[in-house]
Chain A
């Protein structure tokens, strides 16, 4: 079986490529939307202490919900296909980014922010020039977590007809085609590992560029 498994990718290049691309596309789309939603929201929450407790509470609960549950709950609402998968994955990725952004911005030294206000920086300038740069490592850690989680959860998109490498696994299970099953599993594992390494590298790059202690 090992030999068959090793031959499979060569014989099924297009299927493998398509599934991989779909998997990446889904993950990237979900991550992008999650960032676009959660980053500004996290920053805005630091200016709204009343709402902050409520929203972070919801985010914490959301973070706990199993990825499969999120995905399948889209079925009654959005049917099958690309859209429910993407929406579910986006919702899945938002909490990590939101909570990290909120915590990161709040942890910026209050004296620095006070000095900035005293110099005459407007609130927007403070966010852009002081808080975001200083909170960047924590914010990026949130994005990294979300990315890894989304890529992993995208495997399950197959169950709602969203495509991706998970489909190789489910197809392999359905037809008892073990090579397909194993190739799907290995490809997913490799993709997840690559994502982890990529974002770890990016995080190190960001840390390296900040010369200040």
Chain B
């Protein structure tokens, strides 16, 4: 354990790189997925096309996607973030659309009846009600991104994966364990935090009259 204690600053730096990579990827993918999800929510054909396209991307395993991006974008954080964004699109678009579609038609009808303009209705009624499902999507995407970002170290993107790979090449177990455990902890904490948020966002049982 001695290495860990002596080099915790390096570990923290790697953790920081990891978080920055993932956070920027998440922000970017939300920026794309949110409008895309809203747009395709009630347009079945567009939805199907979007899901198919993003689904194809999602099927490609992480290391392979990185490899395919190398001739196009080289190495480093850039291609890593691009890959992370491409991966997250399927999950986020799907959950945004699903969340919006799950809003009971009576609620939308009531909102229209009360005089909500569509844009405002979206903002004040539909999105808030769709939140739990959207947050669930963010949670899944985030955990996946943390995992993929670990592999991104292989194309020199930094992050906790870097510590792991150093440990492998140097045959230094402690680095491997420190990197792997820290990544796992990051993933678990992110998952739990968002689960809590998800639960808070669900309307208390009894306010919805479905089942």
Contacts and interface: CB of A to CB of B under 8 A. Distances in A.
Q: In their complex, do chains A and B touch, with some C-beta pair under 8 Å?
A: yes
B83 to A, nearest CB: 12
Q: Select the residue from A72, A73, A169 with max chain B CB neighbours within 10 A.
A: A72
B92 interface: no
B67 A184 contact: yes
B151 A68 contact: yes
Given A61-B188, A66-B187, A169 B63 contact: yes
Contacts of A178: 70-71
Interface residues of A, number: 37
Interface stretch (B30-38, B112-120, B175-183): B175-183
A184 B165 CA distance: 20
Interface stretch (A48-56, A98-106, A128-136, A151-159): A151-159
Q: Does more than half of chain B's interface fall in helix, strand or loop, or is it mixed?
A: helix
Contact of B184 (A69, A158, A173): A69
10 contacts: A67-B147, A69-B147, A69-B150, A70-B180, A152-B62, A159-B168, A173-B67, A185-B64, A192-B59, A192-B60
B191 interface: yes
B65 interface: yes
Contact of B143 (A64, A159, A182, A193): A64
Main secondary structure of the interface of A (DSSP, over half): helix
Contact of B188 (A64, A173, A181, A189): A64
A65 interface: yes
B183 A189 contact: no
* Size class of the contact patch on chain B: 20 to 34
Interface of A: 1, 60-61, 64-70, 72-73, 75-76, 148, 151-153, 155-156, 158-159, 166, 169, 172-173, 178, 181-182, 184-186, 188-189, 192-193, 196
Interface string B131-152: 0000000000001001100110
A175 B51 CA distance: 37
